């Protein structure tokens, strides 16, 4: 059984993160809690448990990034959703993303008041998946008055090269944002900064967590096997962050005064009795 981590990061671990742009944290959730998260994710995809504010995006039919359909509300019962956002609305996922270790990490980076830009499910369904080209998480396209700096990525299933695990360029966060607009990089930038021989595949066991710097160059491929590659990704940010287009608009607080509480989060619809986890 994988040991469940509870202790805070050491000075050496912080130094490694600052050098590489990512850090393996080991297993955080207990076996029981991981099973609850896995079952709840299936219930949300299949429409058994619904939250009106959540954003859903189905996977592309071709595997091409440009063919990913526009997202919106829940559409049909399917295990082939590529992305689901606003999971802080769900008590199980909120309880997990408020783990004391995550809070300690966020406090070092941002202070006591911390919000989330997005807490989302990312999925490469069995024998499917969409190619995600090298990119960084930040820039003007996010519409924020400051850039978030860290993401905590948790494997809900075992992630391998065969089912589309992340591939990163260690140390590339030190380049800063390669585009003011942010996100995907140009072919020229990829040839200069994302050479295959410099890359690392981040294979992970179910339940393993990886701390990522948002500017770390990363990508992922398709899933070539019959086991899905599901993950829960939370981008944490300074609680004072506001929309660049509407300074009055804040974001859900998860640590500090006024933070969301799991006991206050309830589904809008439970489609069939006993489906809630």
Per-residue pLDDT reduced to its tens digit, 185-231? 999 999 999 999 999 999 999 999 999 999 999 999 999 999 999 99
Higher pLDDT, 57 or 180: 57
Q: What is the DSSP string of 148-189?
A: --EEEEEESS-B-TTTT-EEE-TTGGGG--SSSS-EE--HHH
Contact of 9 with 104, CB cutoff 8 Å: yes
Provide the mean pLDDT of the chain.
Answer: 93
For residues 250-263, average pLDDT = 97
d(CA 119, CA 137): 13
The predicted pLDDT at position 7 comes to: 77
pTM, two decimal places: 0.93
d(CA 117, CA 85): 10
- Domain 77-264 sits in CATH 1.10.10.10: no
Structure tokens given for 64: 């091409």
The predicted pLDDT at position 61 comes to: 84
Is residue 137 left, alpha or beta, with left meaning phi > 0 and alpha meaning psi from -120 to 50?
Answer: beta
Domain ranges of the chain: 77-264
For residues 70-97, average pLDDT = 96
Tens digit of pLDDT for each residue in 213-226? Answer: 999 999 999 999 99
């Amino acid at each position: 059984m994988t040991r469940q981590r509870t202790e805070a990061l050491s000075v050496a671990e912080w130094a490694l993160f600052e050098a590489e742009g990512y850090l393996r944290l080991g297993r955080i959730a207990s076996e029981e809690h991981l099973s609850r998260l896995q079952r709840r994710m299936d219930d949300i995809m299949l429409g058994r448990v619904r939250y009106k504010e959540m954003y859903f995006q189905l996977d592309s039919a071709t595997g091409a990034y440009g063919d990913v359909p526009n997202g919106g509300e829940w559409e049909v019962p399917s295990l082939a959703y590529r992305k689901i956002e606003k999971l802080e609305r769900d008590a199980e996922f909120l309880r997990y993303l408020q783990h004391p270790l995550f809070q300690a990490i966020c406090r070092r980076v941002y202070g006591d008041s911390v919000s989330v830009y997005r807490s989302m499910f990312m999925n490469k369904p069995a024998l499917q998946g969409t190619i995600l080209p090298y990119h960084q998480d930040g820039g003007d396209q996010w519409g924020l008055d400051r850039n978030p700096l860290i993401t905590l990525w948790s494997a809900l299933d075992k992630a391998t090269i065969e089912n589309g695990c992340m591939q990163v360029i260690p140390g590339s966060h030190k380049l800063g944002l390669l585009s003011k607009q942010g996100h995907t990089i140009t072919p020229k930038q990829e040839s200069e900064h994302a050479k295959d021989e410099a890359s690392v595949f981040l294979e992970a066991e179910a339940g393993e967590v990886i701390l990522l710097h948002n500017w770390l160059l990363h990508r992922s491929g398709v899933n070539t096997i019959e086991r899905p590659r599901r993950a829960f990704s939370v981008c944490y940010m300074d609680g004072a962050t506001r929309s660049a287009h509407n300074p009055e608009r804040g974001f859900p607080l998860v640590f500090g005064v006024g933070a969301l509480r799991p006991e206050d989060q309830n589904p809008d619809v439970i489609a069939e009795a006993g489906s809630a986890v």
